[in-house]
A and B are shown apart, each in its own frame.
Chain A
Amino acid sequence: MSILVNSDTRLVVQGLTGSEGSFHAEQMIAYGTNVVAGVTPGKGGQTHLDRPVFNTVEEAVVEEGANTSIIFVPPPFAADAIMEAADAGIEVIICITEGIPVQDMIPAYHYVQKTGAHLIGPNCPGVITPGEAKVGIMPAMIFSEGSIGVISRSGTLTYEAVDQLTRAGFGQSTAVGIGGDPIIGTRFIDALELFEADDDTDAVVLIGEIGGSAEEEAAAYINDHFSKPVFAFIAGQTAPPGRRMGHAGAIISGGKGTAADKFAALEEAGATIVRNPALIGEAVSNQFSAA
C-alpha cells in the first residue's frame, strides 16, 4: 500500500506538449509511472512521447481510463484545468503550477471538494511512491522504498529531508509535496489521515513553514487521531514578520503563523521536534535505533 499514487495510477498530463510538461512526462515515464495520455486543447489527435493527446480531460478518462492528472498549465489557465480534471472524474489531481491568483483558486478549491477528488497543490513538487509511481517533478534518485511518510509545503526542502532519510537507511512509503500557496487542496491533516490508514507507513516526517495555521491544525489532529510517530521541522524560524518568504503562503501576519507557535503546538501534540534542518535523518535514526 501507499497513498495517492501507486502502480494502479493511470496518469494524464495536462499540458503534455508544453516544454515543462514534456520534460517531466519523459522523466515520469522513465521512472515507470503509467502515463496514459496527454491533454492540450487544440492538439487532440496528435501523439506525443508515444502517448495519445486529447483536447479534453474527459476524453482521456473515457478513452484511456485516466484516474490521476498532473497539471503543467500556465497560471492564468491552471485553475480551469483543475476544475476540468475534477469534472471529468479524475480522482487525484496534482497541480504543479506556481503563481495561480487566489481569486481563481477559491472556486477551484471548493469545486474539487464537491466532487470528492483529492487535489494536491498547487505550487507543489508532486507525489511519489518510491518503486511504484512518480507523479511530480522531484529528482527520483534520492528516494528509496520504505515506510516513512513525508508531507511538506516545500520542494527542495522536501528533497533535503528525503535525502537525509535515504542516507540514514529510511526509505519512504509516499512523499507528498502539498504546496506553498495559501489555498491548497490537501493540507497536513488530509495527508496525515491517509497515512494513518496506510499499513505501509510506520512514521511521518512533517515539514512545515511559517504562515497560516495548517501546522497547528495538524497538531490537534495528531493529538486526537494519529497513532504513528511524527517528526516535525518548521522552516522560517528566522523569518521577519510581514514579509512573504518566496512562497505565497509563507508570511507571518498580525503575529500569527510563526515557527515558534507551530513548533510549540506540534511538541505539545507529542511530535518529535527537529529544530535543525540538517538533523532530520538523524532524528528519525535516533528514535528508531533506540527503540
Chain B
Amino acid sequence: MKVHEYQAKDILESYGVAMQPGRVARTVDEAVEAAEAMAEQGSTMFVVKAQIHAGGRGKGGGVKLAKSIDEVRTHADNILGMDLVTHQTGPEGQKVRTLLIADAVDIAQEYYVGVTLDRQTSMDAIMVSTEGGVEIETVAAETPEKIKKAFIDPTIGLRAFQARRLAFGLGLEGQAFKETVQFIMALYDAYANSDATLAEINPLVRTEDGAIVAVDAKINLDDNALFRHKDLAALRDVNEEDALEVKASEHDLNYIRLDGNVGCMVNGAGLAMATMDVIKLAGGEPANFLDVGGSASAETVEAGFRIILEDPNVEAILVNIFGGIVRCDRVANGVVQAAKNVDIDVPLIVRLQGTNAEEGQQILKESGLPIETAILLKEAADKVTQALGASQAA
C-alpha cells in the first residue's frame, strides 16, 4: 500500500527520523495559516508540495518554492485541484486534494537513503548514495560505484558499525556524520516496525549549518502485514486509486486496469498473467488483470463481469478457468447465472479446463446464451482472434 509524503513523514518522525518541518493543508486558507504558523517558528521560505501518490511531482509543476506568504497563497491556489500529470500518473493526471507546506531548507548537499528487501539475499538492505535527487535506478545503471549497501542479518539486526560505514561512505564527518548514523538507525527502525516494503529518502539533505534532514519521504507498506497495523491501514487514500480497482477490491477481486481491448477473468495470478499474454499473441491487448481466486462462484464472476464491462474499451471478454479443486460444471453454472444477470454486449469466450470440463462446456452450450466455448487454451486464443476480427469488420 502506498501512502502520501506527509503520512510517510509522520510515520518516520514518530521513530525519531529527522524531518524538514512541514504542515498539511487542504484549502488555500489552511496553506496560508500553515505558512504563518511556520513563519512564527522562524521559517522564511516555503515549499508548496502537491500530495499525490505518483512520483515526478516537481517536473509536473506540483512542487513550488514560495519566498513569501503571498506566494504560498498563489501556489496553493494554482496547485490545489489541478490534475497533476507526471511520468507515473498517465495522461489524465491525478487530482491534487492535499498540500504539504514545508520549510525550505538551505541545501549544502543532497544524498539518497533507502531501505528495501533484497530478494537475492532475502535480507533487508540499506542503500545510500551521494547522488541525491536522482532516481536510484538511474544511479544503479549509470554509476553503480556511487551506491553503498549494507545487508541486515535478521539474527542481529542493523548494527551501529553498519550505519557508520554507510555514513563514512557518503564522505561525511563531524556533526553531519553523527546525525546521519542516527538517521539511518531510526529509518531502519521505522521501516521494520511499520512493516514497510520500501522506505526511501530522496533527497536527504545536509544543510548549510551541518544538520541532516529528510526533504522528501516515500513509504510503501506490506499489504500482508496491515492486519497488525490498524493505524497504518487507515492511511489508505482511495482517491489515489483507480475507481474500478477500488470497486473490485470491495468484492475481494484482484483487478488491475490496463488500456487494452480484451477483458479477461481468470483463476490464479500466474494463469491470469499468461492469459493476458495469450490475448496479446491472439492480436488483442489485455484490458485488465483479474484474478477471481479459487472459488470462481456465481457472485464473484458476476461482479467481475460488471467491473470489466464498465471499461468502455472492452471489445471482447475471455474467461479462463482451470478447474482443479473447483469443478468446471459448477463454474459453468456460475458463469451462466452471472451472464443472465449482466447485460454482456461484447463477444464472450469461456474456456473451462480441468475437472468436469466437458460437462461445463455442455452447460454453457445448452444455456442458449451467445457464449463461445473452449477447452484448450489454444482454441480460446483462436476464438479471441475471431471475435476481434468480427468486431473490426462490423
What are the residues of chain B within 8 A of A229 when measuring CB–CB?
none
Check if A213 is an interface residue, CB within 8 A of chain B: yes
Known: A158-B270, A237-B277. A102 touches B195 (CB 8 A): yes
Which listed residue, A142, A153, A249, A277, touches B377 by the CB 8 Å rule? A277
Q: Which B residue's beta carbon lies closest to that of A159?
A: B322
Q: Pick the contact of B378: A238, A248, A279 (CB < 8 A).
A: A279
The answer to the question of B231 belonging to the interface, with a C-beta cut-off of 8 Å to chain A, is no
Q: Are A246 and B291 in contact (CB under 8 A)?
A: yes
Let me know if A103 and B381 touch, CB within 8 A.
no
Q: Is the CB of A156 within 8 A of B222?
A: no
Taking the closest CB of chain A, its distance from the CB of B327, in whole angstroms, is 10
Checking B120, B136, B224, B279 against A102 with a beta-carbon cut-off of 8 angstroms, the contacting residue is B224
Q: Which residues does chain A contribute within 8 Å of B286, judged by CB atoms?
A: 238
Complex contact B280–A156 (CB within 8 A): no
Q: Which of A101, A209, A217, A254 contacts B273 (CB 8 A)?
A: A209
Expressed in whole angstroms, the minimum distance between the Cβ of A260 and any Cβ of chain B is: 12
- How near does chain B come to A124, taking the closest CB pair, in angstroms? 11
* Contact residues in A for B186 (Cβ distance below 8 Å): none
Q: How far is the CB of B223 from chain A (nearest CB, A)?
A: 8
Does A255 sit at the interface, judged by CB under 8 A? yes
Residues of B within 8 A of A212 (CB): 119
Complexed CA–CA distance, A183 and B120 (Å): 9
User: With A242-B88, A276-B278 in contact, is A250–B273 under 8 Å at CB?
Assistant: yes
Stretch in A4-12, A42-50, A106-114, A193-201 with 4+ CB within 8 Å of B: A106-114
Task: Provide the residues of chain B in CB contact with A259, threshold 8 Å.
Answer: 277
Nearest CB of A to B245, in Å:
10
B280 touching A238, Cβ below 8 Å: yes
Knowing A101-B195, A102-B195, A238-B276, the reply to whether A157 touches B271 (Cβ < 8 A) is yes
Count residues of A near B (Cβ-Cβ below 8 Å): 65
- In the complex, what residue of chain A is closest to B138 when comparing beta carbons? A254
A249 to B197, CA, bound (A): 12
B376 at the interface (CB under 8 A from A): yes
Taking CB as reference atom, which chain B residue is nearest A240? B258
Query: In the complex, which of the residues B117, B120, B155, B324 contacts A156, with contact meaning CB atoms closer than 8 Å?
Result: B324
Residue of B nearest to A101 (CB): B225
**A103 and B225 contacting across the interface, CB-CB below 8 Å:** yes
| Bound-complex Cα distance A242 to B87 (A) | 12
What does the 1/0 interface line of B293-312 toward A look like (CB < 8 Å)? Answer: 00000000000000000000
CB-contacts of B115-135 with A (<8 A): 117, 119-120, 122-124, 135
When the two chains form their complex, are residues B277 and A101 in contact, meaning their CB atoms are under 8 A apart? no
**A109 adjacent to B377 (CB under 8 Å):** no
List A232-288 residues whose CB lies under 8 Å from chain B.
233, 235-240, 242-243, 245-250, 254-256, 259, 275-279
Name the one of B119, B272, B323 contacting A249, with C-beta atoms under 8 angstroms: B119
A-side interface residues toward B, CB under 8 Å?
A: 23, 27, 75-76, 99-107, 109-110, 137-139, 141-142, 152-160, 163-164, 180, 182-183, 207, 209-210, 212-214, 217, 233, 235-240, 242-243, 245-250, 254-256, 259, 275-279
Please list the 7 inter-chain residue pairs (A to B) with the smallest Cβ-Cβ separation, ordered nearest first.
A154-B270, A246-B269, A156-B268, A139-B324, A157-B270, A254-B137, A101-B225
